[in-house]
Amino acid sequence: MSTQSQLTKMEFNSSCFVNACKSFFHRIKETIKQFTKPATAVLAAGAASDITRSRKDLVEVIDILAKVCLVYSWKNSIIF
């Protein structure tokens, strides 16, 4: 086998590997996008239910969520 044909095979193998890696990481990226993007219907339903709530109810919900976030961040900051 000549040196030229060996180089061509190595270049072909490396380009196949690079293409396979790009495809793999592209699929991972698309999967992450799919799981982190909220469904539009869910957002619309949530907005519609918030429209019917009073300002007092919304403030109470925000207060509860803020407390939950504070407790969660506090628990995660403790190092044992």
Is 23 in the same domain as 48? Answer: no
The per-residue pLDDT for 10 is 59
Is 26 in the same domain as 62? Answer: no
Is 26 in the same domain as 45? Answer: no
What domain range includes position 58? 39-80
Is 60 in the same domain as 77? Answer: yes
Is 33 in the same domain as 57? Answer: no
Is 29 in the same domain as 47? Answer: no
Helical H runs in the chain? Answer: 3-36, 40-51, 55-77
What are the tens digits of pLDDT across the range 24-61? 999 999 988 888 877 777 788 888 888 888 999 999 99
The per-residue pLDDT for 51 is 87
pLDDT, averaged across the chain? 79
The per-residue pLDDT for 70 is 85
The per-residue pLDDT for 73 is 79
What are the tens digits of pLDDT across the range 66-75? 998 888 877 7
Is 23 in the same domain as 46? Answer: no
Q: Total domain count for the chain?
A: 2
Calpha distance 2→74 (Å, rounded): 66
